[in-house]
Amino acid sequence: MNGLTNTKPNTQIDPGQIDPRMIARIPGQHERDVALSFQFRADSSRVFYALSIPEYIEAWLEAPDTDDLRFVFNQIAEETFRINLYRGDTLQASVDGSCWVVGENQVRYIWKTASPIAATETVVDMKLLPGAGGCVLALKHSGFQDPVESARCRRMWQQSLERLCRLMEKN
């Protein structure tokens, strides 16, 4: 799949079910954008539910570099949440997130990150596509100004979506 970086290895897409160009072409992609795709062996409605309900996001979202960092997740309202990122007992940053269903099988998170050195707003777009024996998630996280933050979020999404894959396979 040309155009995607850090795609999960050994992900097989049934060409009869999905046109890979649907995932590979991400309009307006910037070099700092995080773009991933994952295949799930689960019905798209189950995966969509896990992606679109903040109280379920906590079950699969992981801090990058979990040895050093940890997330504390707090749901604020029906579609909003806050994630505090700690190193030891010290608060490193907070993410205020909003979760919106923006179309059929499409979810968007607005992430407002505040840390002692900067405040940024980024957008996470996720789309589920039907596939053989499950579905494929195409994710794009955009709006990064800092390449270090982009790299950290890439690791976070990679780890988190791998965890979500495992959770979906168990049930």
For the chain, how long is the longest CA-to-CA vector? 51
More confident residue, 118 or 66: 118
Cα–Cα separations (whole angstroms), residue 171 to 61, 117, 124, 135: 18, 41, 26, 15
Structure-block tokens of residue 27: 């309009």
Bigger pLDDT: 69 or 125? 125
Per-residue confidence (pLDDT) for residue 3, from 0 to 100:
38
Token readout for 168 is: 């979906």
Range 146-156 average pLDDT: 90
Q: What is the pLDDT of residue 108?
A: 97
Residue 89, CB-side half-sphere exposure with 13 Å CA sphere: 0
Q: Locate 127 and state its tokens.
A: 């789309």
Are 18 and 37 spatial neighbours (Cβ–Cβ below 8 Å)?
no
What is the reported pLDDT for 34?
95
Q: What is the pLDDT at residue 68?
A: 73
Q: CA–CA distance from 22 to each of 67, 76, 127, 134 (Å)? A: 36, 34, 10, 17
Give the mean pLDDT of 57-82.
Answer: 82
Side-chain half-sphere exposure of 150, counting CA atoms within 13 A: 17
Q: 148: phi > 0 → left, psi -120 to 50 → alpha, else beta; which? A: alpha
Amino acid at 84: N
The CA distance from 128 to 139, in Å, is: 9
Backbone φ, ψ for residue 64 (5° rounding)? -70, 150
pLDDT band at 66 (very low <50, low <70, confident <90, very high): low
- 4-63 residue pLDDT tens: 333 333 344 343 444 433 444 445 557 789 999 999 999 999 999 999 988 888 889 888
Average pLDDT estimate for 108-123 = 90
What's the pLDDT tens digit per position in 86-111?
A: 888 889 889 999 999 999 999 999 99
pTM score, whole prediction: 0.77
State the average pLDDT over residues 131-143.
93
